[in-house]
Chains A and B, each alone.
Chain A
């Protein structure tokens, strides 16, 4: 199972507890994780990536295995540790605003 850590506001919106566990079929990529996440929690559509362009929202970042993967192509394979569930995929809100 893939493990995903959401920002607190999105956990509240999705009424999810701590980490979210997802079944992802096929290659584990940013796109396949977000597709599975939005299929399970439709209310998250549009909050992480744009409805139409599918671009990551500017004030969100994707991290895994202590690396910033935000600028990696959405279809690039994620580290094996994410695919195996050893490490979570983090969706993080930028430190900005007031």
Chain B
């Protein structure tokens, strides 16, 4: 029978949650790397036992851990992230400039073709790639160097490259997103990049045609239709039907269109999920009621999914990398909260149950569907 392995990164370690295809009974392993911040873990699509984890701490900096046995054992690999050439400077919160400084890895994206190739999105924003299983890292510096870099500025959480989407139909095409610079695309495997933010409107940017400066929180795509992108922006849920060339708003009847994660159903390319959050200064669900919203129409029309989720006195947040879907049928949907709960729905969002309730604050959730 199929099974699932849920990889959970938290403020104080990593946890691995496993179940069979029913997704009812769960085994919990962890904490791995107890006491360390685990911003993200992800498995290789071609070798599910190959996992990568981003481990960091304010004291000891950044480490990358690798597992070859599905998370039972780990080994530290390369942690040397050095910007290519002269790093330069970007905008700072107070309008001054600030030199590019490496702080941490926010997101690891293993290649769909090679278990030894993995991409890392880092703060201060840049994209790195390893082709030797994480031992050494090289910056794809065409992104930072494409011209708008000096105009980039950090969001409240830092100037992070948090989203990496590898186009499954075109090995040269990669989408990334940076808070608060916006979304970018390469069509030549990372040598050259251009911003893809046309149609985004941000209240704090007076120029409606601003090339960069947008606080993109997350982008998602369905692997069968990589030209269609869905975006949760700081405010606004957006959609592009032309690989990011233009965007239009699909917030529709959402109670608020502020939020962090967005994801797509594994088998229905027009079924998408968001978790609305009250506002940019109140990072918790409206009315203390935790609701996932699902659209089966690719946006505009949304329904609240509440069964099994707390509907009163709930003031957790769901961070940008803390939602994932499995590829079983029916599709499983997962998300983790800053209150330490990880919820699963084994029926595409209709009903939810907590797998665990009391982990440290959840930073990321990924799911592997195992044979």
- B57 surroundings in chain A (CB, below 8 A): 9
Specify which of A46, A52, A97 is in contact with B61 (CB 8 Å cutoff). Answer: A46
Instruction: Determine if A7 and B82 form an interchain contact, defined as CB atoms under 8 angstroms apart.
Output: no
- CB of B117 within 8 Å of the partner chain: no
Specify which of B59, B62, B76 is in contact with A93 (CB 8 Å cutoff). Answer: B59
Contacts of B25-79 to chain A: CB distance below 8 A: 35-36, 57-63, 76, 79
- Residues of A within 8 A of B (CB-CB), count: 18
- B60 surroundings in chain A (CB, below 8 A): 7, 9-10, 13, 47-48, 57, 60, 93
- A48 surroundings in chain B (CB, below 8 A): 60
Contacts of B290-346 to chain A: CB distance below 8 A: none
- B35 surroundings in chain A (CB, below 8 A): 9
Given contacts A9-B35, A9-B36, are A57 and B61 in contact (CB under 8 A)? Answer: yes
**SS of A interface (majority):** loop
- A52 surroundings in chain B (CB, below 8 A): 82
**SS of B interface (majority):** loop
- CB of B146 within 8 Å of the partner chain: no
- CB of B80 within 8 Å of the partner chain: yes
Instruction: Determine if A59 and B58 form an interchain contact, defined as CB atoms under 8 angstroms apart.
Output: yes
- A31 surroundings in chain B (CB, below 8 A): none
Given contacts A57-B60, A93-B59, are A46 and B36 in contact (CB under 8 A)? Answer: no
- B63 surroundings in chain A (CB, below 8 A): 13, 43, 46-47
Instruction: Determine if A9 and B59 form an interchain contact, defined as CB atoms under 8 angstroms apart.
Output: yes
Given the complex of chains A and B, what is the CA–CA distance between A52 and B81 in angstroms?
Answer: 10
Please report the number of residue pairs spanning A and B whose Cβ atoms sit closer than 8 angstroms: 43
Closest residue of chain B to A46, judged by CB?
A: B79
Instruction: Determine if A51 and B82 form an interchain contact, defined as CB atoms under 8 angstroms apart.
Output: yes
Given the complex of chains A and B, what is the CA–CA distance between A96 and B58 in angstroms?
Answer: 9
Given the complex of chains A and B, what is the CA–CA distance between A45 and B36 in angstroms?
Answer: 17
Given contacts A47-B63, A51-B82, A52-B82, are A97 and B58 in contact (CB under 8 A)? Answer: yes
Given the complex of chains A and B, what is the CA–CA distance between A79 and B57 in angstroms?
Answer: 31
Contacts of A6-64 to chain B: CB distance below 8 A: 7, 9-10, 13, 43, 45-48, 51-52, 57, 59-60
Instruction: Determine if A45 and B61 form an interchain contact, defined as CB atoms under 8 angstroms apart.
Output: no
Q: How far is the CB of B156 from chain A (nearest CB, A)?
A: 19
Given the complex of chains A and B, what is the CA–CA distance between A45 and B80 in angstroms?
Answer: 8
Instruction: Determine if A46 and B59 form an interchain contact, defined as CB atoms under 8 angstroms apart.
Output: no
Given the complex of chains A and B, what is the CA–CA distance between A19 and B172 in angstroms?
Answer: 49
Closest residue of chain B to A48, judged by CB?
A: B60
Given the complex of chains A and B, what is the CA–CA distance between A94 and B57 in angstroms?
Answer: 12
Closest residue of chain A to B35, judged by CB?
A: A9
Closest residue of chain B to A7, judged by CB?
A: B59
Given the complex of chains A and B, what is the CA–CA distance between A10 and B79 in angstroms?
Answer: 14
Q: How far is the CB of A29 from chain B (nearest CB, A)?
A: 22
Instruction: Determine if A46 and B58 form an interchain contact, defined as CB atoms under 8 angstroms apart.
Output: no
Q: How far is the CB of A8 from chain B (nearest CB, A)?
A: 9
- B76 surroundings in chain A (CB, below 8 A): 13, 43
- A96 surroundings in chain B (CB, below 8 A): 58-59
Given contacts A9-B35, A9-B36, A13-B76, are A47 and B61 in contact (CB under 8 A)? Answer: yes
Given the complex of chains A and B, what is the CA–CA distance between A7 and B36 in angstroms?
Answer: 13
Q: How far is the CB of B105 from chain A (nearest CB, A)?
A: 12
Most chain A beta carbons < 10 A, residue from B60, B61, B62: B60
Closest residue of chain B to A10, judged by CB?
A: B60
Instruction: Determine if B80 and A60 form an interchain contact, defined as CB atoms under 8 angstroms apart.
Output: no
Instruction: Determine if A60 and B62 form an interchain contact, defined as CB atoms under 8 angstroms apart.
Output: no
Q: A9-B35, A13-B63 are in contact. List 10 more A-B contacts (CB 8 A).
A: A10-B60, A43-B76, A46-B62, A46-B80, A47-B79, A48-B60, A51-B82, A57-B60, A94-B59, A96-B58
**4 closest residue pairs by CB, A with B:** A47-B60, A43-B76, A59-B59, A93-B59
Please report B residues at the A interface, Cβ cutoff 8 Å.
35-36, 57-63, 76, 79-80, 82
Q: List 18 A-B contacts (CB under 8 A).
A: A9-B36, A9-B57, A9-B59, A13-B60, A13-B63, A43-B63, A46-B80, A47-B60, A47-B63, A47-B79, A51-B79, A52-B82, A59-B58, A59-B59, A60-B59, A93-B60, A94-B59, A96-B58
